[in-house]
């Protein structure tokens, strides 16, 4: 059974588009409604989870999903127990592990590791989080939650991103996808925890958005700063966030 159109791995939220998301959300809804229908969708397939950083929820959610779809799972959860501890390179590990499986999920501490590793993998590779750059599959879960909450209507909605924007890979992936879907994004970083201005400008330029500032005393209670930045579609009415 083909669950979704074939994709050659997933390294970044920047690779997502609305057509793919619509197909994914429809498939996810059908799986929720009729799980038994998909219990053997990946029968005969082997999924490898290679995690070079500690993880509980991400790794187990991938492995649980694989089992529920009928796949077998092989896993690396402690890099010190592998040949990496003896100096094996990431490229060599990818060549070897990809020969054992049909799809690989990689979690790695280095920025861009997923895209680099995919050059040496013989099977599609999914980014389970790399460095501070992104966590596209977590974003898919977040988007699906909002899709259900909002009845599929993203345009004109407002989402606030608070706290650690500098080190949060999940928030970067989510911000990019929300911008793609026409959501107004309110940015409230904690002190010293803002992301690079270049990333923000890339979002604004790529989606032809506008950037403005807004002040409210309540913001200071949340982050210590009464000012917030807003990224939004140029045609969106500048309404009061608290109105």
Comma-separated ranges of CATH 3.40.50.1370 domains in the chain: 13-131, 154-233
For 51-109, the pLDDT digits (tens) are 988 889 999 999 999 999 999 999 998 766 655 656 679 999 999 999 999 999 999 99
Kindly state the helix (H) or strand (E) to which residue 130 belongs, with its residue range: strand 125-130
Query: According to the model, what pLDDT value does residue 208 have?
Result: 96
pTM of the model: 0.88
Report the C-alpha gap between 154 and 30 in whole angstroms: 21
For 110-162, the pLDDT digits (tens) are 999 999 999 999 999 999 999 988 999 999 999 999 999 999 999 999 999 99
pLDDT interval class at 201 (50, 70, 90)? very high
Average pLDDT over residues 162-175: 93
Q: Is the pLDDT of residue 1 over 50?
A: no
Report the C-alpha gap between 174 and 171 in whole angstroms: 5
Identify the residue whose tokens are 């500690």. Answer: 54
**Fold of the 154-233 domain:** Rossmann fold (3.40.50)
Query: According to the model, what pLDDT value does residue 7 have?
Result: 64
Query: According to the model, what pLDDT value does residue 238 have?
Result: 59
User: Higher pLDDT residue, 5 or 166?
Assistant: 166
Report the C-alpha gap between 154 and 12 in whole angstroms: 20
| b/e burial code for range 155-176 (CB count within 10 A of at least 16 → b) | eeeeeebbeebeebbbbbbbbb
13-131 belongs to CATH 3.40.50.460: no
For 12-44, the pLDDT digits (tens) are 999 999 999 999 999 999 999 999 999 999 999
Average pLDDT over residues 200-208: 96
Task: Describe the crossing of helices 57-68 and 136-149 by its angle, rounded to 10 degrees.
Answer: 70
Query: According to the model, what pLDDT value does residue 176 have?
Result: 97
Query: According to the model, what pLDDT value does residue 178 have?
Result: 98
Query: According to the model, what pLDDT value does residue 111 have?
Result: 92
Average pLDDT over residues 216-221: 76
């Amino acid at each position: 059974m083909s669950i979704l159109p074939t994709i050659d791995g997933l390294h970044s939220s920047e690779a997502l588009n609305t057509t793919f998301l619509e197909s994914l959300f429809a498939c996810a809804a059908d799986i929720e409604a009729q799980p038994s229908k998909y219990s053997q969708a990946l029968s005969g397939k082997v999924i490898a989870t290679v995690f070079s950083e500690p993880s509980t929820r991400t790794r187990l959610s991938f492995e649980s999903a694989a089992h529920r779809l009928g796949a077998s799972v092989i896993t690396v959860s402690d890099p010190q127990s592998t040949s990496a501890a003896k100096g094996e390179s990431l490229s060599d590990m990818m060549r070897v592990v990809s020969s054992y499986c049909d799809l690989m999920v990689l979690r790695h501490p280095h920025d861009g590791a997923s895209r680099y590793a995919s050059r040496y993998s013989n099977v599609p590779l999914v980014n389970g989080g790399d460095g501070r750059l992104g966590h596209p599959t977590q974003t898919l879960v977040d988007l699906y939650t909002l899709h259900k909450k909002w009845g599929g209507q993203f345009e004109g909605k407002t989402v606030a991103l608070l706290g650690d924007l500098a080190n949060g890979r999940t928030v970067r992936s989510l911000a990019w996808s929300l911008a793609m879907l026409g959501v107004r994004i309110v940015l409230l970083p904690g002190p010293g925890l803002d992301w690079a201005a270049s990333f923000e400008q890339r979002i604004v330029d790529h989606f032809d958005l506008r950037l403005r500032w807004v002040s409210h005393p309540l913001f200071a209670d949340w982050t210590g700063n009464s000012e917030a930045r807003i990224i939004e579609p140029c045609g969106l009415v500048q309404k009061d966030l608290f109105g």
